[in-house]
Amino acid sequence: MALSQHSSLSQQNNARTVGRRYQSLILMLIVTITLMGGVASRLVYLQLLQGERNRQLADDNRIRLIPRQPERGRILDRKGRTLAGSRLSHAVFLWPIANPKERWVEILPELSQILNIPLEEIQDRLEQAGYNSPVRVRVARSISPAQVTALAEFGQIFKGVQVEAEAVRNYPYGDLGAHVLGYTGEMNDEDLKARASEGYRLGDVIGQMGVEAAFESQLRGEWGGQQVEVDGIGQVLRVLEEKPTQAGEDVQLTIDLDLQRAVERALGNRKGAIVAMNPNNGEILAMVSRPTFDPNLFSTYITDAQWQQLQNQDFPFVNRALQGYPPASTFKIVTTTAAIESGAFPSETVLPTFPFIEVGGIQFWDWNRAGFGPLDFRGAMAWSSDTFFYQTALSMGEAPLIAWTKRYGFGQKTGIEIAGEEASGLVPDATWKKAELQEDWYAGDSVNMSIGQGYLQSSPLQVAVMFAVAANGGDRVKPHLLMGNQEAREWRQPLGISPATIGILQDGLRQVITGGTGQALNVPTLPPLAGKSGTAEDPPRLSHAWFGAYGPISKPEIVVVAFAENSGGGGGKVAAPMVRQVLETYFNGTVSTESAAPEEVISD
Q: For a pLDDT cut of 90, what percent of the chain falls above it?
A: 67
Q: Is the dihedral of CA 46, 49, 51, 54 positive or negative?
A: negative
Mind listing the pLDDT tens digit for each residue in 205-225? 899 999 999 999 999 988 777
The residue-averaged pLDDT of 12-39 equals 59
Question: Identity (one letter) of the amino acid at 287?
Answer: M
Q: Quick one: which of 442, 415, 469 has its CA closest to 214?
A: 415
Q: What is the pLDDT of residue 542?
A: 97
Other C-beta atoms closer than 10 Å to the C-beta of 558 total 24
The residue-averaged pLDDT of 110-128 equals 91
**How remote is the C-alpha of 566 from its chain's centroid?**
25
Question: Residue-wise over 527-556: b if at least 16 C-beta within 10 A, else e?
Answer: eebbbbbbbbeeeeeebbbbbbbbbebeeb
At 478 the three-state DSSP class reads coil
Q: For a pLDDT cut of 70, what percent of the chain falls above it?
A: 87
Q: What is the pLDDT of residue 31?
A: 62
Which is more confidently placed, 393 or 58? 393
Element (H, E) at 51: helix 51-62
Whether residue 350 has pLDDT greater than 70: yes
The residue-averaged pLDDT of 348-356 equals 98
Whether residue 4 has pLDDT greater than 50: no
To 10 degrees, the CA torsion angle through 109, 113, 115, 117? 70
Cα Rg, the chain, nearest whole Å = 38
Quick one: DSSP state of residue 198?
A: G
Mind listing the pLDDT tens digit for each residue in 546-603? 999 999 999 999 999 999 999 999 999 999 999 999 999 999 999 888 888 888 777 7
Q: What is the pLDDT of residue 129?
A: 86
Which of 81-85, 126-130, 187-191 has the highest mean predicted lDDT (pLDDT)?
A: 81-85
Whether residue 248 has pLDDT greater than 60: yes
Mind listing the pLDDT tens digit for each residue in 39-58? 556 555 556 555 555 455 45
Mind listing the pLDDT tens digit for each residue in 474-522? 999 999 999 989 999 999 999 999 999 999 999 999 999 999 999 999 9
Q: Quick one: which of 245, 194, 244 has its CA closest to 220?
A: 245
Whether residue 6 has pLDDT greater than 50: no
Q: Find residue 166's DSSP bridge partners.
A: 89
Residues 6 or more apart in contact with residue 302 via CB below 8 angstroms: none
CA distances from 305 to 142, 171, 310 (A): 17, 21, 9
Residue 93 near residue 162, CB atoms below 8 Å: yes
Residue 280 near residue 477, CB atoms below 8 Å: yes
Residue 55 near residue 232, CB atoms below 8 Å: no
Whether residue 411 has pLDDT greater than 90: yes
Q: Residue 278 and residue 253: Cα distance in Å, rounded?
A: 13
At 196 the three-state DSSP class reads helix
At 116 the three-state DSSP class reads coil
Other C-beta atoms closer than 10 Å to the C-beta of 493 total 13
Question: Identity (one letter) of the amino acid at 416?
Answer: I
Whether residue 428 has pLDDT greater than 90: yes
Q: Find residue 246's DSSP bridge partners.
A: 222
Q: Residue 360 and residue 348: Cα distance in Å, rounded?
A: 29
Question: Identity (one letter) of the amino acid at 293?
Answer: F
Is the backbone peptide bond immediately before 291 cis, with ω within 30 degrees of 0? yes
Strands (E), 191-254: 205-207, 224-230, 236-243, 251-252
Q: What CATH number belongs to 63-252? A: 3.90.1310.10
The residue-averaged pLDDT of 72-86 equals 97
Q: Residue 329 and residue 306: Cα distance in Å, rounded?
A: 40
Element (H, E) at 332: helix 332-341
Q: Residue 459 and residue 179: Cα distance in Å, rounded?
A: 15
Whether residue 536 has pLDDT greater than 60: yes
Q: What is the pLDDT of residue 28?
A: 66
Which is more confidently placed, 597 or 323? 323
Is the backbone peptide bond immediately before 428 cis, with ω within 30 degrees of 0? no
The DSSP code sequence of 67-111 is: EEPPPPPPEE-TTS-EEEEEEEEEEEEE-GGGS-HHHHHHHHHHH
Q: Find residue 91's DSSP bridge partners.
A: 164
Q: Residue 258 and residue 276: Cα distance in Å, rounded?
A: 12
Name the CATH code of domain 257-588 (choices 3.40.50.740, 3.40.710.10, 3.20.20.220, 1.20.58.220).
3.40.710.10
CA distances from 72 to 66, 101, 377 (A): 18, 34, 53
Quick one: DSSP state of residue 595?
A: P
Q: Residue 586 and residue 259: Cα distance in Å, rounded?
A: 6
CA distances from 378 to 383, 463, 502, 505 (A): 9, 20, 11, 7
Q: What is the pLDDT of residue 530?
A: 98
Q: What is the pLDDT of residue 137?
A: 87
Mind listing the pLDDT tens digit for each residue in 157-176? 888 898 988 889 999 999 99
pLDDT-based confidence at residue 226 (cuts at 50, 70, 90) = low
Q: Is the dihedral of CA 266, 268, 273, 278 positive or negative?
A: positive
Q: What is the pLDDT of residue 575?
A: 98
Quick one: DSSP state of residue 157?
A: T
Cα 157–Cα 149–Cα 141 angle in degrees, nearest 5: 95
